[in-house]
Structure 1
Amino acid sequence: MAMNSRNRYGVSYAVNGIAFLGSGLGALCVFAILVSYSIEVFMRYVLSAPTSWASDYVTYFLCGSVFLTMPLLTLEGSHVAVTVLQGRLPAAVERFAISLGLVVSAGTCLFVGWLALKQTHYNFVRGIDTMSLAAVPKWIIAAPIAFGFIVSGVILLLQLASVFRSCSESVE
């Protein structure tokens, strides 16, 4: 029993660490947006020589910042939640509703993450680049999308396991 408990918490700590790492990379993407726009403004208004890449790169960094940060937001419960019925339902019904929401959310995240991972692999194997003046391999842009959805799905599954544990502890 102790081994299962230790293993379970080890997985949880690992996933939490991955979520925090992703969030740090997301913050670096926000910094890269700041740098890209600053270079663009300087080049355009001081040197009268606008860049051809800044707008595209800002879009790529925005994608990275959103999806790399997504798991930490899921972990902290900082995502949008409809809480109209929370606290108004009987405890058993509320636990069921929370469990159902977690199952649907985790399933959706894992399915979309799987699709994004397949697309990332496809882009990598085929060597597909973006269609812009400053072409970038598409897999670099798609990888954070797969990361965000897959890690968020795993976090939701861990939250579901926590709900089931609390239910079994309250029954005992």
Structure 2
Amino acid sequence: MKVVFEKVVMLNERIAKYLTLIAGIIIMALMFTITISALSRHFLDRPMAWVTDTSTYALLFVTFLGAPLLAVENRHINVEMLPASLGRRGKAVVQFVTNLVSFAMSLIIAWFALKTTLQAYTEHEVDTNILATPMYLLFGIIVVGALFMAFSFLINALQPSRNSKDKQ
């Protein structure tokens, strides 16, 4: 059973790293398109209207593709004043509770995002901009990111040794 759990942990880490790699590629593409758009607007007097919309989408995708790795590596935002004043056992309890609450919150976000995604898909909702992007594509990435975050928080709760800041 332990071997299976370790393989699941490794698979989760690998997926989180690939999602973060995709987020990095999106950031590079974002920098390129913004630069080309600025040059086009300045030198050719031809702004690229679609760049603003795709930049907004890119930031959404980067956020939810990068978040799972933060959960895997325990680098998400947390308050360290309380745990710093506790002993080793107290810190472990706080970390466990934090991971369980984060797991629950990620699942709630994923659930509501899934409901919104399905509604947007069935009602053929599109963004009211030049691209008319289907909204389910935008909401869907929230589902993906939140589910992988939830899974990572659950793994962290079940395997306390992964929570050590010393390994960073």
Q: 1:72 aligns with which of 60, 69, 73?
A: 69
Q: 1:10 aligns with which of 7, 14, 18?
A: 7
Match of 2:34 in 1: 37
Structure 1 length-normalised TM: 0.87
In structure 1, the gaps of 5 or more residues are: 167-172
Which residue identity is paired with 1:104?
V
How many Å separate the matches in 2 of 1:136 and 1:35?
A: 21
Aligned-residue sequence identity (percent) comes to 23
In structure 2, the gaps of 5 or more residues are: 164-168
Shift in Å, 1:87: 3.9
Q: For the Cα contact (< 8 Å) 2:83–2:94, is it kept in 1?
A: no
Match of 1:170 in 2: none
Q: For the Cα contact (< 8 Å) 2:156–2:162, is it kept in 1?
A: no
Aligned pair 1:24/2:16, yes or no?
no
Following superposition of structure 1 onto structure 2, how do residues 133-172 of structure 1 map, counting pairs within 5 Å?
A: 133-163=130-160
CA RMSD, Structure 1 to Structure 2 (Å) = 1.9
Secondary structure at the aligned position of 1:86 is classed as: helix
Q: For the Cα contact (< 8 Å) 1:110–1:150, is it kept in 2?
A: yes
Q: 2:115 aligns with which of 110, 114, 118?
A: 118
Q: For the Cα contact (< 8 Å) 1:32–1:61, is it kept in 2?
A: no
Aligned pair 1:109/2:112, yes or no?
no
How many Å separate the matches in 2 of 1:17 and 1:165?
A: 15
Larger radius of gyration: 1
Structure 2 length-normalised TM: 0.89
